[in-house]
Amino acid sequence: MKIARGLLLLLAVLLLSGCIKAYVIGHTDDWVDYMFGESNIDPLAGGGVATIEFQKIRVKCTGSFRDYYKPPFGIVGGRARGELTCDDGRTIQIESVALSMSHGSGTGVDSYGNKGTFAFYTNEDAYEDDLAKTRDEVNRRGLSADLLQGAKGRPTATLAAPQAVSPATAQPEAAVPRVTAAMSTGEGRLALVIGNANYREAPLKNPVNDARALAAKLRQLGFEVMLGENLQQREMTRLITSFGEKLAGKGVGMFYYAGHGMQVKGRNYLLPVDARISSEASARSESVDLEQVLDQLSNSGSQFNLVILDACRNNPFERRFRGSTGGLAQVDAPKGTLIAFATAPGKVAMDGEGKNGTYTTALLRTLAEPGLNVESVFKRVRSEVAKVTGDQQIPWESSSLTGEFYFVATAPRGESRVGEAELLFWQSIKDSNDAADFEAYLRKYPEGQFADIARNRLKKRVK
């Protein structure tokens, strides 16, 4: 009873005291940046105001919020929503909940799609402790904050902030065509990434997810990325042309496409989402010829070009053609170019059971491994896809490269470079459920780069 009376007394004091000062601490979901600030909460009238500052990107945001749910008794469980306006032009939609009389948490998403988590305290000591831990974790990760610098005249990959949509007007995310561009700290590396999924006759599950995931990975690897989703033919053609123009003078050009693709008389065509195909003639007129992409790469003068086509999914349009072989046709790569196919010429690739396609899943896992040249990257991808599909899908490449290219040239500072043989061994067992595989690795590489991970896997299996 004394505790209950004490809580009621504290509640009465809070309610009668007007505004309560709270300290705010938070970080982006990917731990790139952290922020802190203060808030004044008025539990009697509901709502309040807050001011926060992001430390790496040096952005200050201020705004207000109001309760949208008040619990029957006290403050605990109360929920609020609001919007902050930042001095670089972006806005942040926030939502919070009071977890106790002195602590709460919330989430936010800015108008460029960056998401974050925050907490607030009325106790300054608890705030200082959380701030120190958050700052240390962000600094430990040492990630670049360039992708958060979305405003000030520079385009950024966007994800719309949450908005209320009535059931009558709501559309699935894949139904909305979108083209975005994002700058990265690249050294002459430009990539065009396209994912088409919302086809009228044969929609696909994974291409948009594949495109987004790969675009994010490439930005981490220093690429400037142009991203297109669910593009119609005109949008797709214009974006490819813009890509070629922007590529002039850069050292590395990369084109990635996920969606439906088909071959007609030995030529490969990439299908926009508005394609209406009833014959071979319409396939040519309604699609985008792969040669158009290769021409843009060749004419740009870039020293290294990479084309990745996860475009061999089972295509119902091909059934309308006599003698159709399915899949894509073999292509000879122009000088300085590597063309990677999700599966062998004339074969069909799998869309995948998870969020991403089978081929792109393997690519995402391998792309950032340090010390692997581009040929080794795709050799690793081929091995993983073949293993996952029981040799039903074998990726294939055509290369006319004249030099070496690395997505990540060396291991991070303080780490030794991993030998090719060890990397191949580890890659072949890293997803294994058999303890004997990790024992074999430790026998061969007792002081290997992945020895600690292997020992941890063994411990888990012993338990």
Residue 386: which of 415, 421, 414, 350 has the closest Cα?
350
Sequence-distant (6+) residues with CB within 8 A of 308 are 254, 255, 256, 257, 340, 363
pLDDT at 178 (0 to 100): 45
Residue 162 maps to a domain: no
Domain identity same for 249 and 380: yes
Say if residue 210 is in the same domain as residue 286.
yes
The answer to whether residue 165 is domain-embedded is no
Quote the pLDDT of residue 4: 45
Task: Report the C-alpha gap between 36 and 343 in whole angstroms.
Answer: 49
Residue located via tokens 């291409």: 207
Same domain, 23 and 141: yes
Which domain does 427 fall in, by range? 420-462
Q: What is the pLDDT of residue 249?
A: 83
Please identify, among 399, 431, 449, the residue that sits at the C-terminal boundary of a domain: 399
Please indicate, yes or no, if residue 412 is contained in any of the structural domains: no
pLDDT of residue 423: 72
Cβ atoms of residues 343 and 314 within 8 Å: no
Q: Please, are residues 389 and 312 in contact by the beta-carbon 8 Å criterion?
A: no
**Domain shared by 250 and 300, yes or no:** yes
Q: Of 105, 132, 148, which closes a domain? A: 148
Residue position matching structure tokens 């220093």: 222
Considering the domain architecture, whether residues 198 and 311 belong to the same structural domain is answered as yes
Q: Is residue 166 part of a domain?
A: no
Q: Is 123 in the same domain as 183? A: no
Q: Is residue 13 part of a domain?
A: yes
* pLDDT at residue 353 in the model: 66
Q: Are residues 54 and 128 in the same domain?
A: yes
Regarding whether 89 and 21 lie in a shared domain, the answer is yes
Rg of the chain (C-alpha set): 26
Q: What is the pLDDT of residue 180?
A: 45
Task: Report residue 455 as tokens.
Answer: 């020992």
Classify residue 348: in a domain, yes or no. Answer: yes
H-helix segments, 73-146: 124-141
Query: Is 157 inside a domain boundary?
Result: no
Q: Are the CB atoms for 118 and 24 separated by under 8 Å?
A: yes
Sorted by sequence, the CB contacts under 8 Å of residue 147 that are 6+ apart come out as 32, 114, 156, 157, 182, 184, 219
23: helix, strand or coil: strand
Residues 181 and 143 grouped into a single domain: no
pLDDT 10s digit of each residue in the chain, 463 long?
Answer: 444 444 444 444 444 445 688 899 999 887 888 999 998 887 666 678 999 999 888 889 999 888 877 776 556 667 888 999 998 888 899 988 887 777 888 889 887 778 889 998 888 888 888 888 888 888 877 777 766 765 333 333 322 222 233 333 333 333 444 444 433 334 589 999 999 999 888 888 889 999 999 999 999 888 999 999 999 999 999 999 999 999 988 889 999 999 988 888 888 899 999 988 877 777 788 899 999 999 999 898 888 999 999 986 556 665 555 545 566 888 888 888 999 998 877 666 666 667 888 899 999 999 988 888 899 999 999 999 888 888 888 898 999 887 788 888 764 444 444 565 777 777 778 778 888 888 888 888 887 778 878 887 887 665 4
454 within a domain of the structure (yes/no): yes
Q: Cα(208)–Cα(214) distance, rounded to whole angstroms?
A: 10
State the CATH number of the domain containing residue 320: 3.40.50.1460
CATH of the domain at 94: 2.40.128.120
CB-CB contact of 155 with 182 (8 Å) = yes
Going 50 to 53 to 54 to 58, the CA torsion angle's sign is positive
Residues 122, 210 within the same domain: no
Q: Let me know whether 241 and 362 are in one domain.
A: yes
User: Number of folded domains in the chain?
Assistant: 3
Report which of 457, 452, 451 is spatially closest to residue 432, judged by C-alpha positions.
457
Gap between the terminal Cα atoms of the chain: 45
Of the three residues 399, 430, 452, the one that is the final residue of a domain is: 399
> Are 193 and 318 members of one domain?
yes
